[in-house]
Structure 1
Amino acid sequence: MNLPILSPHLVEAAVRDALAEDLGRAGDITSQAVIPAAAQARAVIAARKRPGVLAGLDLARKAFELVDPAISFEPAARDGESFAPGAILARIEGPARGVLAGERVALNFLGRLCGVATLTSQYAAAIAHTKTKVCCTRKTTPGLRAFEKYAVRCGGGVNHRFGLDDAVLIKDNHIAVAGGVVPALRAAKAFVGHLVKIEIEVDSLDQLREVLAEGADAVLLDNMAPAQLREAVAMIGGRMTSEASGGIHLDGLKEIAETGVDLISSGALTHSAPVLDLGLDIEIN
């Protein structure tokens, strides 16, 4: 699996914020009170009762590294790989106080991102017999977008735009204010540079005809039934990327993909993915 590299700067900034939230002003006072300063620990991060897809190892590693550089973190698998219940995902060794102080931040990131990757893998598997790809949206946890979109990639999905600044996506409200599909498209083409792609949302075949006449890079087919999607794909005829969207969940996904659309976007991949239950099992020396 060809995964993007998570920016080390983003990883460190996010983990520092999470550690600051968790350790507060005085640090882990429980471990300071109960665990001798010289105590060493060996631990594993393991899956509990559910299988999953791994994502977020860099964040988990950074949590322990920032708490105490003397802690070693050895992954037992790679991001993007599937694992069974009970599987060991990483081994940690070092000062016990540091291992305990970094535990929750590491597991919070890892459980969240494994949950996104796991749900995405279920979507991808449901439509693997088609050419359609499943993609995420901007419905992400504030501050975690880059990581959740990375987790989507780990699960076999693809990424939509990362923010409002990297592509034009003309939605129904833009069209209403601009005065229609054609004025909105013409204004967008006049404004952006030649490397910026333009996508526009339509909810009817009449609007789609206007888009096809005016031209765009991609068209978002919003809340269309499978029969209407199939007709829309035939009308597009490969001239632009087709994306189905609007309240799409795992049930019904197969039927939508079989209409021939290029992409299916679903906010559920990130806003509704359950956190995967992972745990840290520790042995104090």
Structure 2
Amino acid sequence: MKLHIEEIEHLIDQALNEDLLQGDITTQNIIPKERMATALMHTKESGVIAGLEVAKAVFEKIDSSIIFEKEVEDGAFVEKGKVIVKMTGSYTSLLIGERTALNFLQRMSGIATETKKYADQTVGTKTKILDTRKTLPAYRHLDKYSVFAGGGTNHRMGLYDMVMIKDNHIKMAGSITKAVDQVRAEIPNSIKIEVETTCYKEVQEAVAAEADIIMLDNMDNELTKKCVDFIAKRAKVEASGNMSLDRIKSVAETGVDFISVGAITHSVSALDISMNFTSV
């Protein structure tokens, strides 16, 4: 997944506006405008970095003359204490942008770091870790980019780019078969249809309806394996629901293609990153 700064530029503008409004009344009344400085961003814990271009864009909004030098790239795993960015420019501008840049960078790196933990549990299997729509409102592009940087796979971006037939849709349509047929009659063949199932009988119906992807929702490993064997590659298989880190490996070993994990975006902890001045 490629990060397009122009798509999230409004978020940077909003973040700077809520922090600055009338300006930084502390910095601007203490630091001389002409004072130059060098600052380093470094990690205070080990993790995967994501969001460097966003941090750069924050400083560029404030002062285009700041020299922003990346020491690593997004997706890199770094140890505690690693310098990830070196910046040179106006002391005032660097201070003004510090917190906003770190807020973006820390959250995005936290998501990437958590995603890697889950992805590491699938090594040796064909299973990929999927994200979900359980993202911070308005920050979906950033959250999903961070998942990608951490080794995960992006699922649908929203309600518009893939069909997801869930229990309430099935209730309204009357059955899985009717729901799939209704949707298929209205959408292009290029759009994938996924169906949520909760039991073996529903899986059988979803296969008969020729769903492209079948989600096994909140099933134990024994039932998951039984369903995977029955589907027999006639559709892609996604496992979902209560996917804690300590369960990922055993679920992957059942042969599912995907495991979706909402926690990598909705319950993430920011990666601790700080910025310190080395010369003023």
Structures share a fold, TM > 0.5?
A: yes
Q: Return the match for 2:121 from 103, 111, 126.
A: 126
- Residue 284 of structure 1: how far off its partner (Å): 4.7
* TM-score (normalizing by structure 2): 0.98
Q: Which amino acid aligns with 1:164?
A: L
* Contact 1:11–1:62 (CA under 8 A) maintained in structure 2: no
Which digits, 9 at most, give the CA deviation of each residue in 1:98-133, with x for residues without a partner? 100100111000000000000000001111121101
- Residue 175 of structure 1: how far off its partner (Å): 0.8
Gaps of 5+ in 2: none
* Contact 2:41–2:83 (CA under 8 A) maintained in structure 1: yes
In the other structure, the counterpart of 1:31 is 27
Between the aligned partners of 1:270 and 1:51, the Cα distance in structure 2 is 19
* Contact 1:96–1:284 (CA under 8 A) maintained in structure 2: no
In the other structure, the counterpart of 1:47 is 43
1:213 paired to 2:208: yes
Gaps of 5+ in 1: none
Which digits, 9 at most, give the CA deviation of each residue in 1:4-59, with x for residues without a partner? 321121232221111111111x11111011111111110011001x2000100111
In the other structure, the counterpart of 1:65 is 60
- Residue 243 of structure 1: how far off its partner (Å): 0.1
Instruction: State the number of aligned residues.
Output: 280
Between the aligned partners of 1:169 and 1:11, the Cα distance in structure 2 is 26
- Residue 76 of structure 1: how far off its partner (Å): 0.4
1:6 paired to 2:3: yes
Q: Return the match for 1:227 from 222, 227, 248.
A: 222
Q: Return the match for 2:85 from 87, 90, 93.
A: 90
Between the aligned partners of 2:188 and 2:121, the Cα distance in structure 1 is 37
- Aligned to 1:281, the other structure's residue is in SS state strand
- Aligned to 1:29, the other structure's residue is in SS state coil
Alignment of 1:71-86 (within 5 A): 71-86=66-81
Which digits, 9 at most, give the CA deviation of each residue in 1:54-111, with x for residues without a partner? 1001110001000111111110000011000000010111011110010011100000
* Contact 2:5–2:54 (CA under 8 A) maintained in structure 1: no
Between the aligned partners of 1:56 and 1:229, the Cα distance in structure 2 is 36
- Aligned to 1:91, the other structure's residue is in SS state strand
Identity of matched residues, %: 42
Between the aligned partners of 1:28 and 1:68, the Cα distance in structure 2 is 14
Q: Return the match for 2:133 from 138, 141, 156.
A: 138
1:101 paired to 2:101: no
Which digits, 9 at most, give the CA deviation of each residue in 1:143-179, with x for residues without a partner? 1111110111111110110000000000111111211
Between the aligned partners of 2:168 and 2:146, the Cα distance in structure 1 is 30
In the other structure, the counterpart of 2:109 is 114
- Aligned to 2:158, the other structure's residue is in SS state coil
1:249 paired to 2:258: no
Which digits, 9 at most, give the CA deviation of each residue in 1:208-234, with x for residues without a partner? 111111111101100000000000000
Between the aligned partners of 1:211 and 1:11, the Cα distance in structure 2 is 38
Alignment of 1:165-176 (within 5 A): 165-176=160-171
Between the aligned partners of 1:30 and 1:241, the Cα distance in structure 2 is 56
Between the aligned partners of 2:247 and 2:228, the Cα distance in structure 1 is 18
- Aligned to 1:191, the other structure's residue is in SS state coil
* TM-score (normalizing by structure 1): 0.96
